[in-house]
Amino acid sequence: MHMMALPFRRAVNAELTAVHKAKAAPANQGMAAGIAAGLKNVIAAVEALHLAVTGDAIPTPEGGCGCAVVRMGEVLAHIIQTSTEALAAVEAAAIAKRDAAIARMAKPAGEGRKPAKQKKNKKEKKAKRLLNIGMGTEAVMRHVLALFKGEDGVLAVPSPMMPNVVSSLATFVLKDIIQAAEARRKPKVARGTRDMTPAQMAVRQYAINKVSDVFKRHGAVSIDTPVFELRSTLLGKYGDDGAKLVYNLADQGGEQLSLRYDLTVPFARYVAMHGISKIKRYHIAKVYRRDNPVMTKGRFREFFQCDFDIAGESEGMLPDGEVLCVIVEILRDLPLGDFEVKINHRLLLDATLDICGVPASRFRQVCASIDKLDKCPWSEVREEIIQRGIHADVADRIYTLINHRGPVAEVLADIERENTFGDHAGAQKALSELTLLSNYLSLFGVADCIKLDLSLARGLDYYTGLVFEAVCDGGVGSISGGGRYDNLVGMYSGSQIPAVGGSIGIERIFTILEAKLARGEMEAIPPRETAVFIQTVGPNLL
């Protein structure tokens, strides 16, 4: 590779490209192809500094492979002293700034501020200094100085070391500057979010339309609430684990705000704020959680939820039965494959913990651990319960009681026959309500899709009665969840409004549908539908 005819800049570009290919090929050939553009500003800066120091332009390199890099090292050697002075100036400015800050802290309270003119001059000087040497330039200079300094700290540029020094510098430039700049130039979305193509939007809209059709069929009306709420509105509603996932906002006006974590708490605030005594509503909107995203399983930090709630109805378990019916109808209408809805009663779970000897103050903590049984084996959940201060024998007894699952009527019959909960008042109330609910589910024609699972906990603190969760084949976890929350509205007003509702996770449904489309298990959904087609016939046919 002979570089005699090449200008200095092109020679250095070619040489460093070769260095990069030798170090990175074949893992990142695309990076090597972009080296010339990435080094443009670096080489231009070297040329400008050489011209400023020597008064001459950099001559065309002569010789064989590697001479351009060696020549670049010689140029850098010329500017070492200039670099030293520049770095010394930066360090002196930093020390002066620190001393000034200390002096301001020690200044008596009565002293006034600096005049506006002095402040302006200070800003101009700072801007001028930033134009002369930036953070990236300073990093390069420090690296160059470290390479050319001996053990005694004295600058030395022994000729035999030049190729090794410059090769190291080239690696530094490639790794720490060019690759970082290349990464910055590539646009990307925030972690846990994604863009949607027209084809993907068609699939999502297809699912949303199916969901909203069922909501409307049951007489629900649509509402909307702000995407962010006062932080006080959301505090204390989601348990210890849920509270960590709330996105807090820094508002310039001083208000403490948070992005909505779900659509249920804003709905409860809406009912209390507007004095509503009875409503059947649905709401389809985005929510935000600082969760650990798993894109392949439909777990995002920004995602759609589709909520259906009935507030103000108190006719036994009929509203609870209708909510479960709505969830089953939606899952039947969508081509998701086999699914199952698991239910439990919060009072039954509390009775289990009470009978086993768990202190009432630990109920919510232990429930949060039990809620992880669908993701973790019992051994891990047991260990977490013990770490919460519960004796191992108590944890084992809890598992014995919650390890019941099956068709609702069958499990209720087993509990009655075995007298599992004795005369516990809370358990008897829960069993009575579940028996009534079982009858409604049979009348609605959805009993075959629903199972009673005594280990289902649902980690949110606001549930007071029925809790449920829907799972589907496809490995995405829960695609729906909900329950009764009779005390939530009362937290924002003086009156208690009973309420029950459920939520559908559109993103996880979308993940299942997208996988089915990829496998050819369902017909493609066109991104655009033609409602009306107009054609003219004649000489000027359109």
81-129, pLDDT tens digit by residue? 444 555 566 667 777 777 777 776 665 544 555 555 555 565 555 544 4
Residue 130: which domain range? 8-185
| Domain of residue 311, CATH code | 3.30.930.10
Residue that terminates a domain, selected from 153, 185, 217: 185
**If residue 349 lies in a helix (H) or strand (E), which one and from where to where?**
helix 346-356
User: pLDDT higher for 105 or 387?
Assistant: 387
Q: How far apart are CA 363 and CA 161, in angstroms?
A: 70
Q: Which pLDDT score is estimated for 5?
A: 32
Helices (H), ranges, 363-447: 363-370, 378-387, 392-402, 408-418, 425-444
Residue 2 maps to a domain: no
178 and 203 together in one domain = no
Task: Render pLDDT for 173-189 as a digit per residue (tens, 0 to 9).
Answer: 555 555 555 555 678 89
The band of 296, judged by pLDDT with boundaries at 50, 70 and 90, is confident
Residue 530 maps to a domain: no
Please tell me the pTM assigned to this model.
Answer: 0.65
Give the total residue count for the chain. 542
Query: Quick one: residue 433, left, alpha or beta (phi over 0 = left, psi -120 to 50 = alpha)?
Result: alpha
What total number of domains does the chain contain? 2
Q: How far apart are CA 497 and CA 237, in angstroms?
A: 16
Q: How far apart are CA 269 and CA 468, in angstroms?
A: 22
Q: Which pLDDT score is estimated for 457?
A: 87
**Residue with token string 């540029």:** 157
Most confident of 19-33, 36-50, 361-375, 481-495: 481-495
Task: Render pLDDT for 135-169 as a digit per residue (tens, 0 to 9).
Answer: 555 555 555 556 556 566 555 544 445 445 555 55
131 and 263 together in one domain = no
- Non-local (6+) Cβ contacts of 369 within 8 A are 381, 384, 385, 388
Radius of gyration of the chain (CA): 34
Residue 461 maps to a domain: yes
SS3 labels along 130-159: HHHCCHHHHHHHHHHHHHHECCCCCECCCH
Q: How far apart are CA 317 and CA 370, in angstroms?
A: 25
Per-residue pLDDT, averaged over 215-230, amounts to 96
211 and 154 together in one domain = no
Q: What percent of the chain has pLDDT over 90?
A: 43
What strands lie across the sheet with 279-288, from one edge to the other? 221-222, 279-288, 302-311, 499-505, 478-484, 466-472, 339-345, 450-453, 405-407
The band of 65, judged by pLDDT with boundaries at 50, 70 and 90, is very low
Go through 357-392 and write b for each residue having 16 or more CB atoms within 10 A of its CB, e for each that does not.
ebeeeebbbbbbbbbebeeeebeebbebbeeeebee
202 and 161 together in one domain = no
Residue 533 maps to a domain: no
Per-residue pLDDT, averaged over 2-24, amounts to 47
266 and 207 together in one domain = yes
Q: Which long-range contacts (CB under 8 A, 24 or more apart) does 145-148 make?
A: 145/80, 145/83, 145/84, 145/87, 148/77, 148/80
228 and 310 together in one domain = yes
474 and 444 together in one domain = yes
Q: Which pLDDT score is estimated for 494?
A: 81
Per-residue pLDDT, averaged over 311-316, amounts to 81
Residue 313 has pLDDT above 80, yes or no: no
In the structure encoding, which two tokens stand for residue 173, read together? 């430039």
What's the whole-number average pLDDT of the chain?
77
322 and 405 together in one domain = yes
229 and 368 together in one domain = yes
226 and 372 together in one domain = yes
What is the DSSP secondary structure assignment for residue 299, as one 8-state letter? Answer: B
Most confident of 157-161, 167-171, 247-251, 465-469: 465-469
Using N-to-C axis directions, what is the helix angle for 392-402 and 378-387, rounded to 10°? 130
Residue 532 maps to a domain: no
Most confident of 51-60, 308-317, 405-414: 405-414
256 and 118 together in one domain = no
Residue that terminates a domain, selected from 185, 215, 239: 185
Residue 537 maps to a domain: no
CA distances from 12 to 3, 55, 73 (A): 10, 21, 11
The whole-angstrom distance between residue 223's C-alpha and the CA centroid of its chain comes to 26
Residue 172 has pLDDT above 80, yes or no: no
162 and 236 together in one domain = no
Whether the CB-CB separation of 306 and 429 falls below 8 Å is answered with: no
CA distances from 101 to 66, 125, 322, 508 (A): 49, 17, 66, 53
Residue 540 maps to a domain: no
Residue 525 has pLDDT above 60, yes or no: yes
What is the DSSP secondary structure assignment for residue 227, as one 8-state letter? Answer: S
